[in-house]
Amino acid sequence: MLSVLIAVAIILFLYQPVKVEGTSMMPALRDQERIFINKFTYRFGIEEIRRGDMVVFLYPGDTTKSYIKRVIGVPGDWVEVKEGAVLLNGAQIEEPYVPEEFLDRISAPRVRVKPDEFYVMGDHRSASNDSRSWGSVPREYIYGKAVFIYWPLEKLGRLR
């Protein structure tokens, strides 16, 4: 009985199950997959939000919706997209998580990420509604870090 209570407490307060809806994070995450997000690590300052993290947040255009995207720029960074290539502080970054077939040739103007905001993009660039369109995400809207996929079982494991 104690183990059940501990498991329930962990799920309720530390981790939250989430269903992925959409294709903007392919191939890392696919539509209808199930993941756990860590709600604790960012909220209590155990870990800082870093470039490359997959974060779950309230969509700034409609806070009744949640999105999952990858952090590209942190406060103070300069981010620019030139015909699909992402430049961070003036240098093109390597993005092994974005397959060639998911790239697009869209450009976005150079912007400086404001304090307490984060520039986010989906891995499936040609199918992602992200910071290129609506700007950075305020820190207070980010409520979890995607950490573990549990469904389908063949993909069971830690997210990278």
Task: Please enumerate in sequence order all residues whose Cβ is within 8 A of that of 15, keeping only pairs 6 or more positions apart, or say none.
Answer: 36, 37, 38, 39, 40, 147, 148
Active-site residue numbers?
24, 69
Q: Which residue has the higher pLDDT, 65 or 6?
A: 65
* pLDDT number for residue 12: 64
Cβ 34 vs Cβ 15: under 8 Å? no
Considering the chain, what percentage of its residues have pLDDT values greater than 90? 83
pLDDT-wise least confident of 80-84, 119-123, 155-159: 155-159
Q: Which residues sit opposite 138 in a β-bridge?
A: 117
Question: CATH assignment of 2-76+113-158?
Answer: 2.10.109.10
Closest CA to 15 of 7, 26, 4: 7
Cβ 20 vs Cβ 34: under 8 Å? yes
List the chain domain ranges.
2-76+113-158
